[in-house]
Amino acid sequence: MDTSEGQAYVEAMNFALAFAKANRFAMMDTIKHIIGESIDSVTFGEIINIHHNYAAVENHYGKHVVVHRKGATSAKAVQTGIIPGSQGTPSFIVRGKGNPESFMSCSHGAGRKLARKQAIRSLNLEKEIKLLDDAGIIHAVHTQKNLDEAAGAYKDIDTVMKNQEDLVEIIEKLIPLAVIKG
């Protein structure tokens, strides 16, 4: 961290995080505008903005350490976060419990059981389409290459959430209505 290379890495990562945040806010503003044009007197609650896949200098166990959250997100006490599901599976709004044993972290999703290329090669396209169709989810899964993010490529999100009850409290379980991927 105290080398020029380390400082350059931190600067580049912070730039990428700021860009990602600006992108999320631009998408939220667009969606809020579209919904506002369609629904009279709509109001929006708290904006949930949380990074995943990043590193940060934090104090844990009385020491300043670098916490690299890959496949994880911050779950500090009372911090609101989102744990997204895959195509066709629920997402969760959560409140962190600040568990020191996890460095105040939790998962940022179910986690893959199949790598992207493996999912494309091995998942059954018709089965994955049927799962989405039967759930009434609007989607754009039409070809084998769309299967890299299919529900079948991921671990069971409900099991993952059960396994991290000591890290987060579930505030809301969100059932998908549509999948937008591009």
Q: Are 96 and 75 in contact (CB under 8 A)?
A: yes
Provide the residue type at 15 as one letter.
Answer: F
Q: Please, which residues bridge with residue 112 across strands?
A: 154
Of 51, 52, 64, 108, which residue is the catalytic one? 108
Q: Could you give the count of Cα atoms lying within 13 Å of 112 in the half-sphere of its Cβ?
A: 13
- Cα distances (Å, whole numbers) of residue 51 to 33, 54, 73, 101: 24, 7, 6, 20
Provide the residue type at 27 as one letter.
Answer: M
CA 120 and chain centroid, separation: 21
Q: Is 39 helix (H, G, I), strand (E, B) or coil?
A: coil
- Confirm whether 108 is a catalytic residue: yes
Q: What is the DSSP letter of 27?
A: H
Q: How far apart are the first and last CA of the chain?
A: 35
Catalytic residue positions? 108
